[in-house]
Amino acid sequence: MKKLLSLIFSILFLTGIGFSQGKWRYNPFTGERDYYVEGLSLSTAAAGDIIYYNGTIWTRLAKGTDDQVLTLAAGLPSWAAAAGGADVKVGIDVGATAGYLGAAYSDGVLRVDQNELTYTDGGNFITLGLADHDTARTALGLAIGTDVQASDASLTSIAGLTYASGSFIALTAEDIYAVRTYAQTLSDIGGQASDAGLTSLAGLTYASDSFIKVTAEDTYAIRTLTETASDLEASIESAIDTLANLISVQGHTFTLAGNFVTQNNNVTINAVTAARTVTLNESLTIGDGNDGTLTYSGASKTLTVADDCTVNQDLQTTDDVQHADIYHTGFVGTNYYDCGNSGASITIDWNNGNLQHVTLTTVGVDITFTEPPHPGPCQLWIIQDGTGSRTIDWEHEISPKWPGDVEPTLSTAAAAVDVVVFTFIGGTTYRGLFNGDFR
């Protein structure tokens, strides 16, 4: 009590309040003198009471009720209900439980845990779960997957981009984006860098019914229909002059399914088909009608050589060549076809060439011929393997005709070589001449 009176005395002294309201009196309970303020009963004071000076005397303001606020009315303190509608700041008590805005499970406490918001009200717990969040977002027009995109790796990558002037966004990998400059983007899309050609094209002025002509390297010009016709006419006339020196069309259309090249008085036809086929609807004459003139004409498109014709290079063909007479001064060669080892049986296909050889590897080899496309000579070289004494059963399939109807006897030595020359006269008939034991 002495400490309280000392505090009151200090307040009165500091505020200039006189001592007329305060007096000393004997306290029978403590046996000491107490200082009291007249008209202010301290014996009835309760926790939460407030003592204040009303301008005349010191008086006591009893504590208010829960949720009331301390305010001033006519310059004096008083309790009043909190005004509604105004923003109220929420503070967290220093004694609050971790994860709670206040003491756990107390009325009015909020808690956020595992994506849920829990509110405690008078012991009743109200939980707003994820379903309530989805409902709220839908009501606001923010439903994930419908109105807004859920956060993912793509959005994270885009959000991490840094601004660069005059740039583009490129998708460099799945869910990965990068900022690309103008030059980088041009390179990415395979665009052509600005050059003299593009500059010339960009400088052209539109003209109705016109064409673009290359007048020099990287230089372009607009040409009207009349100008273009004149350009083409000059080019066509030059080409016709060159063509007229080689071929006489004689009023008919000359059509090639490929390129027609003239150079140094030579004619080269580069057909575009795989088989290199050239189709002529009319006659084609190369030459002046004298020796060496080639004429391709007639319904069957027969190639006729007038008198002598000299071919300075090799003449090769994979197709049949039919002729009345052929005269040549050079060597005529043919393919020497290897049929391989015979085994127990073998087929000699004369379509592979009229000069072939086979190595016998067993006794009594069954041999079969595949007929050539036309009658003619067929030469077969027969070679013994390292063992020798191998034989052929000629009567198995072909039954060739032999001189005196006597079948030849093959050489028996290892690696011995015999030659049989057959003449195919058509059908399945072969006539054979035997020459044996070449060493």
> Residue 185: what pLDDT?
82
> Residue 283: what pLDDT?
60
- Which residues 6+ apart lie within 8 Å of 417 measured at CB? 381, 382, 383, 384, 411, 437, 438, 439
Least confidently predicted of 61-65, 228-232, 291-295, 394-398: 291-295
> Residue 57: what pLDDT?
82
Place of tokens 């990965």: 176
Mean pLDDT over 160-187 rounds to 87
CA count, 13 A, side-chain hemisphere, 382? 29
Least confidently predicted of 48-62, 255-269, 409-423: 255-269
**Has residue 429 got a pLDDT over 50?**
yes
Task: Return d(Cα 4, Cα 417) in angstroms, integer.
Answer: 145
Confidence label for 348 from pLDDT (cuts 50, 70 and 90): very high
Q: Which residue has the higher pLDDT, 257 or 181?
A: 181
> Residue 74: what pLDDT?
85
**Has residue 338 got a pLDDT over 60?**
yes
Q: What is the pTM for the complete model shown?
A: 0.35
Cα–Cα nearest to 346, from 379, 393, 378: 393
**Has residue 117 got a pLDDT over 70?**
no
**Has residue 168 got a pLDDT over 80?**
yes
8 Å CB contact between 402 and 376: no
- Which residues 6+ apart lie within 8 Å of 380 measured at CB? 348, 356, 357, 358, 419, 420, 421, 422
Confidence label for 178 from pLDDT (cuts 50, 70 and 90): very high
Q: Which residue has the higher pLDDT, 145 or 157?
A: 157
pLDDT winner (highest mean) among 23-37, 88-102, 172-186, 189-203: 172-186
- Which residues 6+ apart lie within 8 Å of 50 measured at CB? 60, 61, 63, 70, 77
Q: In degrees, to the nearest 5, what angle opens at C-alpha 92 toward C-alphas 89 and 94?
A: 145
Tell me the pLDDT tens digit for each residue of 382-396: 999 999 999 999 987
User: How would you label 61-74 residue by residue, b for 16+ Cβ within 10 Å and e otherwise?
Assistant: beebeeeeeeeeee
Place of tokens 């009594």: 364
Mean pLDDT over 414-419 rounds to 95
Q: Which residue has the higher pLDDT, 44 or 312?
A: 44
Confidence label for 272 from pLDDT (cuts 50, 70 and 90): very low
Q: Which residue has the higher pLDDT, 192 or 167?
A: 167
Q: What is the mean pLDDT of the chain?
A: 74
Q: Name all domains of the chain by residue range, CATH numbers in brackets.
A: 2-61 (no CATH), 98-143 (no CATH), 159-188 (no CATH), 192-244 (no CATH), 246-305 (no CATH), 336-438 (2.60.120)
**Has residue 38 got a pLDDT over 50?**
yes
**Has residue 398 got a pLDDT over 90?**
no
Cα–Cα nearest to 411, from 434, 438, 437: 437
Tell me the pLDDT tens digit for each residue of 196-228: 888 998 899 988 888 898 989 999 999 988 888
DSSP E strands, 54-174: 58-61, 68-73, 76-81, 110-113, 116-121, 124-128, 167-173
**Has residue 229 got a pLDDT over 90?**
no
Mean pLDDT over 345-352 rounds to 94
Give percent of the chain above pLDDT 70: 56
Q: Which residue has the higher pLDDT, 430 or 87?
A: 430
Confidence label for 419 from pLDDT (cuts 50, 70 and 90): very high
> Residue 254: what pLDDT?
47
